[in-house]
Amino acid sequence: MNRRRFLQLMVAGPMIVSAPLQIPLALASDNTPAATLLRASEMLTGRQGLDASVADRLCQLLSKQNSRFPGQLARLMAHLQSAGETDRQRLVDSLDDDDINTALAIISPWYLGYTGHPSTTKATDDAEFVTFLSALMYEPTRDVTLRPSYARAGSDYWAEVPQGVNAPPMPVGIRQWGENAPAAAKTIPAPDAPWLLMVQGKARTLAEANALLAAEKK
């Protein structure tokens, strides 16, 4: 799927096309990059009242990752305003490839909550946290599911057997275990060499990692 088609699908959701395409009047006179990004975000996502503090952080992160972003943002906003389109599908069609890339760089973090590309095989990557509670990907199911978090039912909620689950009794004194749980590790063991190579991104599979280690021993 190309990037233009992906953007079209993103702006075609029922929660988006139902909202009017307009520029927030309260911010129309503010030409700072963060305010411009907020206006572009609301036009592209179809949501009014997006968090200005999130927009400010997003603008800072995108500008840090790409020094040309402020200029690309200004260009995109100029095209959005001059297109004269109220239909988002036609609006996307009117954008060139550079504007499409800029629009995706803006919209994706609003939905995912981060910029960049997180990696599961490297110790470091270019991903940056933007927001958790305001991530728009949780909106479609907000009427039936809670936004996931680390403690959905208060402190130590895990010590109680969930309602409707048949399970053996919990060990005596489980609430007092804390860091002294019977199975708690007292020290962190050194990582296995093959695993470390994969985490560092030097090998993609266990076979590759073992081959590299064997070559180093020769």
| pLDDT tens digits, one per residue of 2-12 | 666 656 555 65
Would residue 204 count as lying in a domain? yes
Q: What is the pLDDT of residue 23?
A: 46
Q: CB-based burial of residue 155 (10 Å sphere; 0-12 exposed, 13-18 middle, 19+ buried)?
A: exposed
Q: Same domain for 110 and 194?
A: no
Q: Is there a domain that residue 166 lies in?
A: no
Q: Is the pLDDT of residue 114 over 90?
A: yes
- Whether residue 85 is predicted with pLDDT greater than 80 in this model: the reply is no
- Asked whether residue 64 is domain-assigned, the answer is yes
Structural domain boundaries enclosing 52: 3-115
Residue 24 buriedness (CB in 10 A; 0-12 / 13-18 / 19+) = middle
Q: Are residues 106 and 18 in the same domain?
A: yes
pTM of the model: 0.60
Domain count, the chain: 2
Which among 2-11, 72-81, 178-187 has the top mean pLDDT?
A: 72-81
Please report, to the nearest 10 degrees, the dihedral formed by the alpha carbons of residues 36, 37, 39, 44 taken in order: 140
Residue 171 lies in a domain: no
Q: Structure tokens of 66?
A: 């790409």
Could you tell me if residue 135 is inside a domain? no
In a domain, 7, yes or no: yes
Among the candidates 62, 97, 115, a domain finishes at: 115
CB atoms within 10 A of CB 198: 19
Question: Cα separation of 186 and 11, whole Å?
Answer: 51
- Model confidence at 74: pLDDT above 90: yes
**d(C-alpha 209, C-alpha 185), whole Å:** 27
DSSP secondary structure letters along 21-59: ----GGGTT--SHHHHHHHHHHHHH--SS--HHHHHHHH
In a domain, 155, yes or no: no
> What's at 185, amino acid-wise?
A
What does the alpha-carbon distance between residue 2 and residue 13 come to, in Å, rounded to a whole number? 18
Task: Report the alpha-carbon angle 63-115-48, nearest 5.
Answer: 85
Asked if residue 15 and residue 100 are part of one domain, the reply reads yes
Give 153-181 pLDDT, tens digit per residue: 666 666 667 678 787 777 777 767 666 66
Listed residues 62, 95, 115: the one ending a domain? 115
Q: What is the pLDDT of residues 119-143, one digit of tens each?
A: 877 778 889 999 988 888 888 877 7
Q: Among 58, 93, 115, which residue terminates a domain?
A: 115
pLDDT tens-place string over residues 1-45: 466 665 655 565 544 434 444 444 444 567 899 999 999 998 888
Position 6 scores a pLDDT of 56
Same domain, 106 and 200: no
- Is 10 within a domain? yes
